[in-house]
Amino acid sequence: MTMEATCTSVWTLATALYVKIDDELQRSPQVGGAPAEDRHRAEADRRGADHRGGLQAVLAIDTALWSDDVWIVGRRELRFADPIERTRAMRKLIVSTFLTLDGVMQAPGGPGEDDSGGFTHGGWSVNYWDEQMGQVMSEAMSTPFALVLGRKTYDIFAAYWPHAPEEAGARPLNDATKYVASRSHPSLEWSNSVLIEGDAAEGVAALKLEDGPELQVHGSGNLIQTLLRHNLVDEYRLWVFPLVIGSGKRLFAEGTIASGLRLVDSKVSTTGVVIGTYEPAGEIVPGSFALE
């Protein structure tokens, strides 16, 4: 049985997922004496639980595997949360971030953008910009998208883009729907702005279930930490600039859940900025270079 659109509920899909994985494992050699549960989980991540897109039910199963709500083990035991019917493809959530080599994402655009914590290096990305980087950014803005923003980033964008010329790339941002995560109830005056009510993680998870274009996150360092903790990011577009700062807010801050990433595209600007696109690749599989 395959995990296609005919699997119209979590129960049906999970059963199909188990049968596929069990069949594959029966035909595969045992790996280094690893416990059966660990082998099945690894196989589930590699073959059956791809959370980079596809059916919503597939994402639900993938999340549940690692939160212990669903178990797929050698004893053919399956334990489920309440079955939820999920049939449509989920919206992809993409984090697009400028980073220094030491992982700082704070205030790349200019002094005063975000000086919290005594940060004094605002504007560190500006002098590295070249024509190729502008082209990559234009391509990213040319496909339909909606924005998911934290309150601080929203305020920065809203103060600039409604008044920016169209040739500066303002139109796609002004036309896009802006979903704003905030603990307060701010006045959202930028056109097409929508407040995410209640818990930010729950609100973003609900957005991913709706019809609509891809969801892009820019800036929004605090919000990104919440999205990472809840396994809501489907793709990272990381612009790594050739400098180190030593302090400031980092994309992968303390408390980030350890996980693997897969590089799916990369470009290098004339100024040495590495633009990499990554997708989640499941748990880290440790190894050793030691000779046995």
Which domains are present in the chain?
Answer: 1-89 (no CATH), 93-280 (3.40.430.10)
Q: What is the average per-residue pLDDT within 142-164? A: 95
Task: Please enumerate in sequence order all residues whose Cβ is within 8 A of that of 130, keeping only pairs 6 or more positions apart, or say none.
Answer: 269, 270, 271, 273
Residue 12 clears pLDDT 90, i.e. is over it = no
Beta-sheet pairing, 235-241 with 274-280: antiparallel
Most confident range, picked from 24-28, 33-37, 75-79, 129-133: 129-133
Average pLDDT over residues 209-238: 95
d(CA 42, CA 44): 5
Identify which has the larger pLDDT, 67 or 141: 141
Q: What is the mean pLDDT of the chain?
A: 78
3-state secondary structure of 101: coil
Overall average pLDDT of the 213-222 stretch: 95
Q: Which residue has the higher pLDDT, 257 or 242?
A: 242
Supply the pTM of this predicted model: 0.69
Residue 166: which pLDDT band, with cuts at 50, 70 and 90? confident
Least confident residue range of 72-86, 115-129, 193-207: 72-86
Instruction: Please report the beta strands in the chain, taking only residues with DSSP state E, as ranges in sequence order.
Output: 93-100, 145-150, 178-181, 193-196, 214-218, 235-241, 261-268, 274-280
Which pLDDT belongs to residue 161?
A: 95
With 60 as the cut, is the pLDDT of residue 220 above it?
A: yes
pLDDT surpassing 80 at residue 105: yes
Specify the higher pLDDT residue, 27 or 171.
171
Cβ within 8 Å of residue 242, ≥6 positions away: 101, 128, 271, 272, 273
Distance CA 56, CA 84 (A): 10
**Average pLDDT value for residue range 1-29:** 37
pLDDT band at 88 (very low <50, low <70, confident <90, very high): low
The residue behind tokens 């035991």 is: 77
The predicted pLDDT at position 123 comes to: 96
Least confident span in 74-78, 126-130, 172-176, 223-227: 74-78
* pLDDT value at 33 more than 70: no
Give the residue, 74 or 103, on which the prediction is more confident.
103
Q: What average pLDDT score do residues 204-233 get?
A: 95
